[in-house]
């Protein structure tokens, strides 16, 4: 009888979270992670994450967009994806992704901003052109970073001619 029928109505509730580092060097790959979570009580089907990046950001295939798919996502379940981006120029890049589902519509992710920087090292050396034999000679070596990124783990090596002896730095 229709009055005794019990119908349970379920509904998926999707959430898309995007994470990316706040700052990276241009020579490093930028890791981007997408986490899709179904916080509802029904299955979500035919999910697709899509994002278009600035023309100076590319995935390994040389494209500036990404599309990822999930067949279905059950209630209380999550799925993670990670991609790597390469930056061809320094700058600040902000973007967000879109999650579409056949059964749940469309959801936008949070926006992430990554500042891409690069160190530019300059080296200058000064000292006398001539000096008397047997006297100490002082040379000044200056290294500076004229870029906008940190030059981590920088090592400066200077060679000394065989006929000279190092005293101090």
- Model pLDDT, residue 49: 97
Neighbouring residues of 155: CB distance < 8 A, sequence distance ≥ 6? none
Strand partners, 75: none
pLDDT, one tens digit per residue, over 38-60 is 999 989 999 999 999 999 999 98
Is the per-residue pLDDT at 80 higher than 90? yes
Please tell me which residue, 6 or 117, carries the higher pLDDT value. 117
Whether residue 22 contacts residue 115, with contact meaning beta carbons closer than 8 Å, is answered with: yes
Q: Is the pTM of this model over 0.95?
A: no
Compute the 3-state secondary structure of the chain and give helix, strand, coil in percent, each to the nearest 5: 0, 45, 50
Residue the block writes with tokens 């898309």: 16
As a whole number, the mean pLDDT across the chain is: 90
Alpha helices in the chain (DSSP H): none
Q: How far apart are CA 124 and CA 89, in angstroms?
A: 27
Whether residue 49 contacts residue 66, with contact meaning beta carbons closer than 8 Å, is answered with: yes
Q: How far apart are CA 39 and CA 36, in angstroms?
A: 10
């Amino acid at each position: 009888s229709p009055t005794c029928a019990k119908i349970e109505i379920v509904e998926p509730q999707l959430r898309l979270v995007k994470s990316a580092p706040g700052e990276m060097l241009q020579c490093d790959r930028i890791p981007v992670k997408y986490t899709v979570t179904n916080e509802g009580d029904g299955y979500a089907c035919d999910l697709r994450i899509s994002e278009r990046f600035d023309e100076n950001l590319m995935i390994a295939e040389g494209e500036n967009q990404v599309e990822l798919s999930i067949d279905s996502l059950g209630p209380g379940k999550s799925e993670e994806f990670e991609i790597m981006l390469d930056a061809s120029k320094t700058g600040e890049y902000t973007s967000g992704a879109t999650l579409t589902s056949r059964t749940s519509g469309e959801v936008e992710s949070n926006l992430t901003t990554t500042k891409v920087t690069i160190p530019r090292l300059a080296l200058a050396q000064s000292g006398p052109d001539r000096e008397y034999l047997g006297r100490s000679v002082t040379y000044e070596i200056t290294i500076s970073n004229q870029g906008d990124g940190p030059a981590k783990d920088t090592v400066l090596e200077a060679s000394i001619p065989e006929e000279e002896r190092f005293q101090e730095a």
